[in-house]
Amino acid sequence: MLIVHLTVRARATPNGYFGRITGIAGVVGQVANGLSMVWLGLALRFTHGTTTFVVLGAALFFLAACVLLSPAIPLPSVSEAE
């Protein structure tokens, strides 16, 4: 979501910040990946496999619903981008 938001606002972002934005996005992705592995490992350790994947499926369904119900991000038209 951060990358999409920053891409839409790219006209207002100085070129010097694109490297920092990319670096921060990479770090956030690595942290989220690590947290997901820890959560899944703990969930599988303390609950049954079926329960863990039902909870995971419910969380993914909730995330998909949030994305579908969120307001659209206005994209600049081709004439505005020039």
Give the pLDDT confidence of 24-48 residue by residue, as tens digits.
888 988 999 999 899 888 888 998 8
Stretch 7-34: mean pLDDT, rounded? 77
The total domain count for the chain is 1
Range of the domain at 13: 2-81
Contacts of 56 (CB under 8 A, 6+ apart): 40, 43
Instruction: For CA atoms 30, 39, 6, 67, give the dihedral sign.
Output: positive
pLDDT tens track for 49-82:
898 889 889 999 998 998 888 777 776 665 554 5
Residue 14 has pLDDT above 70, yes or no: no
Residue 8: the pLDDT is 62
